[in-house]
Chain A
Amino acid sequence: MTNAIEASGLVKRFGKTTALAGVDLVARPGTVLGVLGPNGAGKTTAVRILATLLKADGGQARVCGYDVGRQAHQVRQLIGLTGQYASVDEGLSGINNLIMIGRLLGQSRRGARARATELLERFDLSEAAQRPVKTYSGGMRRRLDLAASLVGNPRVLYLDEPTTGLDPRSRTDVWDMVRGLVTGGVTVLLTTQYLDEADQLANDIVVIDHGKVIATGTPDQLKDRSGGQVLEVEPASRAWLDRAAAVLGSRTGAEPTADPESGLVRVPVADATVLPMIIRDLDEAGVDLAEFTLRKASLDEVFLALTGDRAPGQDGDRAPGQERAPGQDSDRGPAGDDGPAGDPGQAGQQHDNDEIRELERSPR
């Protein structure tokens, strides 16, 4: 079967900065492909190329078999995009935003209105339907943006950090929506900085860093790759953290991390047969235990192992719940995200410089 998304060797440069240095992606029809990467890795640039918003400098990309460069018109009939910055018309009401898109897609007047009403209902915006979007809260705006990308029943949906800035309940709503769409045969490409989100939703994951794919696989495969399991030990008293860490270190041969705040010591475990010895050693060292857990490595740990130091969202410039209205681009910190994201032109240029700084800063 034709892959829903197929990209090979995508290259994109902004001035001297290379945002994408040869990226390969494949999304099978009716699945979710999670694209993970630290801020500035190139995720948004890749999405914008696949959504026909940017031209690639090299490489090839096809959506349902259509070339995103040469057959952009066909591709546009198949896709929906929800970017990081809500692309809705502030001066129109919610319902008119959706009717406008429906009409642009060739729906009849009545059809467009019916579809708009249905989507507003689905995204819990019925009450605000007649209000201008500029009076909406950030979360409502995002939901409307999502609704807008679904007006035309897209076959392939790009969600660029769709839950950034949403409260936990809205986030689970978005997850349910994604699952529902996938059940209906839609292919979803999802970029996210929340690893649990990728873990929850993605069938396959691509990890991008510095414009290159550094790992691919299912969430489970990725977790297995990085040593598999993690031992977590919580001594009954924080005073014993160091002693516990010493025991864990000597038995596993790995570097344990002690977190005074949670009172936990963590260490990756390659061979589970050391566990009885660890328990005995801890007992001999006089460390009473409140908790002793062996679990699969989380995607966060996988991510840290893969990218070295930076997990997505750790650059501290965008906490969950933080809203971002369009036009506030100037305060996007040095680690905003990915090249000229929402704003073409000058602002994008600014961004690239930031990206260069970021490249220089991080040790490879």
Chain B
Amino acid sequence: MTAATLPFAEPAQRLSPVTGLRNTFTLTWRSVLKIRTNMEDVVGLSLQPIMFLLLFTYVFGGAIAGGTHAYLQYALPGLLVMTVVFATLGTGLMLNQDITGGVFDRFRTLPIARWAPLGGAVLGDMVRYMISVAITLGFAMVLGFRIETNPVSAIAACLLLLTFALAMCWVSALIGMLVKTPQGVQMFGFLVMFPLVFGSSLLVPKSTMPGWLQSFVNVNPMTDLASAVRGLLVGAPVGTAALRSLLWALAIFAVFAPLAVRAYRRRA
């Protein structure tokens, strides 16, 4: 007697791409639900940008730009970049928790697409990034920030930020796969993100920096991204900055997404 005569359905030979996409959307739904049920996450997600905004505007603003309003107009685009970049850390953190907590073992015994858990985590995090950007921008407007261009450029600025975040989160995902514990992910992630965020013209103009640092700032993708967002929000020249940040996003994605997927296959 063969397996076919058992009173159970015959298993399918292989997985269709449509099923793979459906798996991904189910897991995206899961990530989004977790934002809602996890209050700490929501509080952290909203308070961190607000804290940075207040700190930089009122502590450093006067010293750097001679006035808080002038500084807010300069620094907010940079703060938006910082917010999404730090928010990408959450992707690696969640993947790492999934692995150490055993949820991935459950996924791996299910007949689903291998890449669906990774895809679902990344897509779900896009929602988190949107929340971060909305909170930061909204609160900055309460503090007196004014969009000096038009709504279309403002939306373009947000889309540019999200595109870049979509690329950066693969760096975070890779860290999440390679590092052993969630705490390690946080540590290591900050080690990578801090120099990128602060070694740029995000928060201060580069003219006061020593020459060697200026050359780093010039090649730092964050600088391009901040210039582009600044241009789109307050009307400074956008120039090639927008195009360059898109190319950067593409390059980061092309390098780190395959690396993360490979590390994921190896570990999960």
Residues of A within 8 A of B (CB): 1-2, 29, 51-53, 64-66, 73-81, 83, 85-93, 96, 100-101, 103-106, 132, 148, 152, 155, 185, 326-327, 342-347
Given A64-B6, A327-B101, A345-B267: A74 in contact with B37 (beta carbons within 8 A): no
Given A1-B1, A53-B109: A93 in contact with B102 (beta carbons within 8 A): no
The reply to whether A51 and B26 contact each other, CB–CB distance below 8 Å, is no
Task: Choose one: B22, B26, B106, B112; the contact of A87 (CB below 8 Å).
Answer: B106
Neighbouring B residues of A105 by C-beta, 8 Å: 110-111
Chain B 96-110, CB within 8 Å of chain A: the 1/0 string?
Answer: 001111111111111
The reply to whether B34 and A86 contact each other, CB–CB distance below 8 Å, is no
A262 to chain B, nearest CB (A): 40
The reply to whether A29 and B6 contact each other, CB–CB distance below 8 Å, is yes
User: In the complex the two chains form, what is the Cα distance from A326 to B30 in whole Å?
Assistant: 20
> Among the interface residues A73, A80, A91, A105, which one has the most CB atoms of the partner chain B within 10 A?
A91
Kindly state whether residue B244 has any CB partner on chain A within 8 Å: no
Given A87-B102, A103-B26, A327-B101: A51 in contact with B3 (beta carbons within 8 A): no
User: In the complex the two chains form, what is the Cα distance from A101 to B268 in whole Å?
Assistant: 18
Can you name 17 extra interface pairs (CB under 8 A) apart from A77-B12, A345-B99? A1-B1, A2-B1, A74-B12, A76-B111, A81-B105, A81-B109, A89-B34, A89-B98, A89-B101, A91-B37, A104-B110, A104-B112, A105-B111, A152-B110, A327-B101, A344-B268, A345-B180
Q: Please list the 4 inter-chain residue pairs (A to B) with the smallest Cβ-Cβ separation, ordered nearest first.
A: A87-B102, A77-B11, A87-B106, A76-B111
User: In the complex the two chains form, what is the Cα distance from A92 to B26 in whole Å?
Assistant: 13
> Among the interface residues B12, B19, B108, B116, which one has the most CB atoms of the partner chain A within 10 A?
B108
Given A73-B14, A74-B12: A91 in contact with B111 (beta carbons within 8 A): no
Secondary structure call for the B interface: helix
Tally of contact residues, B, Cβ under 8 A: 41
Within 8 A of A (CB), among B11-63: 11-15, 19, 22-23, 26-27, 29-30, 33-34, 37-38
Neighbouring A residues of B212 by C-beta, 8 Å: none
B234 to chain A, nearest CB (A): 38
User: In the complex the two chains form, what is the Cα distance from A1 to B3 in whole Å?
Assistant: 8
Neighbouring B residues of A74 by C-beta, 8 Å: 11-13, 111
The reply to whether A89 and B103 contact each other, CB–CB distance below 8 Å, is yes
Task: Choose one: A1, A83, A89, A346; the contact of B180 (CB below 8 Å).
Answer: A346
Closest to A90 in B: B101
Neighbouring A residues of B3 by C-beta, 8 Å: 2, 64-66
Contacts A/B (CB < 8 Å), 11 sampled: A53-B108, A53-B109, A66-B11, A76-B110, A100-B29, A100-B30, A105-B111, A132-B37, A148-B106, A326-B100, A343-B102
Task: Choose one: A92, A344, A346; the contact of B30 (CB below 8 Å).
Answer: A92
Given A78-B11, A85-B102: A101 in contact with B180 (beta carbons within 8 A): no
User: In the complex the two chains form, what is the Cα distance from A75 to B109 in whole Å?
Assistant: 9
User: In the complex the two chains form, what is the Cα distance from A65 to B3 in whole Å?
Assistant: 7
User: In the complex the two chains form, what is the Cα distance from A345 to B100 in whole Å?
Assistant: 10
A101 to chain B, nearest CB (A): 7
B88 to chain A, nearest CB (A): 19
The reply to whether A80 and B13 contact each other, CB–CB distance below 8 Å, is no
Given A73-B14, A77-B12, A88-B103: A96 in contact with B26 (beta carbons within 8 A): no
> Among the interface residues B30, B103, B111, which one has the most CB atoms of the partner chain A within 10 A?
B111
The reply to whether A80 and B111 contact each other, CB–CB distance below 8 Å, is no
> Among the interface residues B7, B34, B106, B110, which one has the most CB atoms of the partner chain A within 10 A?
B106
> Among the interface residues B8, B33, B98, B107, which one has the most CB atoms of the partner chain A within 10 A?
B8
The reply to whether A104 and B102 contact each other, CB–CB distance below 8 Å, is no
Neighbouring A residues of B33 by C-beta, 8 Å: 92, 96
The reply to whether B180 and A347 contact each other, CB–CB distance below 8 Å, is yes
Neighbouring A residues of B107 by C-beta, 8 Å: 104
Neighbouring A residues of B103 by C-beta, 8 Å: 87-89
The reply to whether B111 and A344 contact each other, CB–CB distance below 8 Å, is no
Kindly state whether residue B207 has any CB partner on chain A within 8 Å: no
Neighbouring A residues of B19 by C-beta, 8 Å: 106
Neighbouring B residues of A326 by C-beta, 8 Å: 100-102
Given A66-B11, A185-B7, A345-B180: A83 in contact with B2 (beta carbons within 8 A): no
User: In the complex the two chains form, what is the Cα distance from A260 to B137 in whole Å?
Assistant: 76
The reply to whether A65 and B2 contact each other, CB–CB distance below 8 Å, is yes
The reply to whether A51 and B11 contact each other, CB–CB distance below 8 Å, is no
Closest to A158 in B: B109
Neighbouring B residues of A76 by C-beta, 8 Å: 109-111
The reply to whether A79 and B109 contact each other, CB–CB distance below 8 Å, is yes
Given A64-B6, A347-B180: A92 in contact with B37 (beta carbons within 8 A): yes
Neighbouring A residues of B109 by C-beta, 8 Å: 51-53, 76, 79-81
User: In the complex the two chains form, what is the Cα distance from A346 to B106 in whole Å?
Assistant: 20
Neighbouring B residues of A344 by C-beta, 8 Å: 99, 267-268
Neighbouring B residues of A92 by C-beta, 8 Å: 30, 33-34, 37
Closest to B102 in A: A87
> Among the interface residues B37, B109, B116, which one has the most CB atoms of the partner chain A within 10 A?
B109
Closest to A62 in B: B3
Neighbouring B residues of A106 by C-beta, 8 Å: 19, 22
Neighbouring A residues of B106 by C-beta, 8 Å: 81, 87-88, 101, 148
Neighbouring B residues of A152 by C-beta, 8 Å: 110
The reply to whether A2 and B2 contact each other, CB–CB distance below 8 Å, is yes
Neighbouring B residues of A77 by C-beta, 8 Å: 11-12, 111
